Structure 1
Amino acid sequence: MLVMVVDSSTPAVTAALVHVADDTDDPQVTVVAERVTVDGRAHGELLAPQIQQALADGGVAPGDLAAVVAGTGPGPFTGLRAGMVTAAALGHALDIPVYGVCSLDGIGHGRPGRLLVATDARRKEIYWAVYDDGARIDGPAVDKPADVAARVHASAAAGDGADRYADVLGLPVVPPLYPSARALAELAADRVRAKAPGETLTPRYLRRPDAVAPGTRKPALP
């Protein structure tokens, strides 16, 4: 079963064509083609062409897809929204199910030991979660790195936020820096194999967007 995986929760704009084996006795997930561009200001411009490129690299047509898997964040509002809207639109156009996965899980999944996953949330904050042998046991949340360092006990950290604030977190940084398309697909694989109904994607913004609607104009005259 061919699946398109998209994630735009971090500066790594990701589109990957993934094969999910439908044999439950051999449940392999294989990346067929992948396009990743690290650019935190061009999610909307990059993602759709990268989906087309991944399909072309894999030698398949959009109609060959069985499902779409989307990273649901947490992530900055504009970038995260671009990926989720694109995933929902692709699923709707092809009439195939769309499944959401926490993007931090795409970093922590399958990693041994106690791991802090942190991505850059801007405003000198990080989105974070804690994993124990690949299973999330705390988070996701958004906080100052110093607050996370005081609260969380882990043996290592992963993610671009962990790398950026390594001196504050005080943990050795291990890969990956960004969500893995294969990990996101593995986390959704049971739903893909079961042909479960598609989901309404719910973004994990964790805080209000920077942009706000303008308030009511004050009269110029007394």
Structure 2
Amino acid sequence: MLLLAVDTATPAVTAALHDGSSVVAESSRVDARRHGELLLPAVDRVLAEAGVKLDAVTGLVVGVGPGPYTGLRVGLVTAATFGSALGVPVYGVCTLDGLAYASGLDGPFVVATDARRKEVYWARYDSSRKRVGEPAVDRPADIADQVAGLPTVGAGALLYPDTFPDARGPEHVSAGALAALAAEKLAAGETDFFQNQGGLPPKPLYLRRPDAQVPKNYKVVTPK
């Protein structure tokens, strides 16, 4: 097994290789505006560090969000393209699950990432491997009662300390954690964990409409 994992759902542009036992190479850079520019060089770096070619990869792992529309699509399209070109499966993993897994926490906690518009993407967990319910997007003040007293992992906790006073690391997701989680689930035969079933491409978790909108009442100009 050689899994190539990528995630662009957060400001971290991250790629990693996992051989089924451990992460053999990883590259991450935090830059919220350059996902498309940075992802392919990150993939090149991890392949070079591991000393393998792209055609050695036996599966792709991609973070499906939740995350902002533009950045999230970079990772999804890249993974789908590689998977199609190589003829290998593409496994979609919730980005929040990758953060939870990397935290190593036991007992109830929350993962929260920055959703912009003064909101967070968030989910509750019973442990680093078990999410409770589906991810959501909300204003921190609106969920204060639901997360009160719980440790919180992710950049969202740092942005809104009044709601998330017990902030924990990591701040951003790592492709290494996504790959390790996926390898663990595949080894256990838990294929129902992944966001895509029946060989379908992974679907993004947007949770809301994209920021860019078609202007209302725009003037239509037609040739005379």
Given the two structures, how large is their TM-score scaled by the length of structure 1?
A: 0.88
The residue that corresponds to 1:142 in the other structure is: 137
How far apart are the structure 2 equivalents of 1:193 and 1:130?
A: 23
Q: Is the 8 A contact 1:115 1:130 kept in 2?
A: yes
Shift of residue 93 of structure 1? 1.1
Q: Is the 8 A contact 1:6 1:16 kept in 2?
A: yes
Please give the secondary structure, in 2, of the residue aligned with 1:70. strand
How far apart are the structure 1 equivalents of 2:218 and 2:148?
A: 49
Shift of residue 187 of structure 1? 3.1
* Uncovered stretches (5+) of structure 1, i.e. residues with no partner: 21-27
Letter in 1 for 2:131: R
The residue that corresponds to 2:30 in the other structure is: 38
Could you list the per-position Cα deviations for residues 139-194 of structure 1 after superposition, in whole angstroms to 9, with x for gaps in the alignment?
3000001112122245200101111112x214311111112323312332233786
Letter in 1 for 2:5: V
Aligned length: 211
How far apart are the structure 2 equivalents of 1:138 and 1:72?
A: 16
Letter in 2 for 1:45: E
Letter in 2 for 1:128: W
Q: Is the 8 A contact 1:97 1:199 kept in 2?
A: no
How far apart are the structure 2 equivalents of 1:50 and 1:102?
A: 20
How far apart are the structure 1 equivalents of 2:220 and 2:160?
A: 47
Letter in 1 for 2:203: T
Does 1:17 pair with 2:17? yes
Query: CA 1:192–1:81 in 2, change beyond 3 Å: closer, same or farther?
Result: farther
How far apart are the structure 2 equivalents of 1:208 and 1:191?
A: 32
How far apart are the structure 1 equivalents of 2:149 and 2:57?
A: 39
The residue that corresponds to 1:3 in the other structure is: 3
The residue that corresponds to 1:201 in the other structure is: 202
Letter in 2 for 1:7: D
Q: Is the 8 A contact 1:114 1:132 kept in 2?
A: yes
Q: Is the 8 A contact 1:67 1:91 kept in 2?
A: yes
Does 1:49 pair with 2:41? yes
The residue that corresponds to 1:174 in the other structure is: 168
Query: CA 1:104–1:219 in 2, change beyond 3 Å: closer, same or farther?
Result: closer
Query: In percent, how many aligned pairs have the same letter?
Result: 50
Q: Is the 8 A contact 2:152 2:164 kept in 1?
A: no
The residue that corresponds to 1:75 in the other structure is: 67
Q: Is the 8 A contact 2:26 2:176 kept in 1?
A: no
Please give the secondary structure, in 2, of the residue aligned with 1:113. strand
Query: CA 1:34–1:78 in 2, change beyond 3 Å: closer, same or farther?
Result: same
Query: CA 1:104–1:137 in 2, change beyond 3 Å: closer, same or farther?
Result: same
Could you list the per-position Cα deviations for residues 70-116 of structure 1 after superposition, in whole angstroms to 9, with x for gaps in the alignment?
00000000000111101111111111110000000001124212111
Q: Is the 8 A contact 2:17 2:176 kept in 1?
A: no
RMSD (Å) for aligned C-alpha atoms: 2.1
Please give the secondary structure, in 2, of the residue aligned with 1:74. coil
How far apart are the structure 2 equivalents of 1:193 and 1:88?
A: 24
Could you list the per-position Cα deviations for residues 5-53 of structure 1 after superposition, in whole angstroms to 9, with x for gaps in the alignment?
0000100100111111xxxxxxx3x111111000000000000111011
Letter in 2 for 1:185: A
Does 1:88 pair with 2:75? no
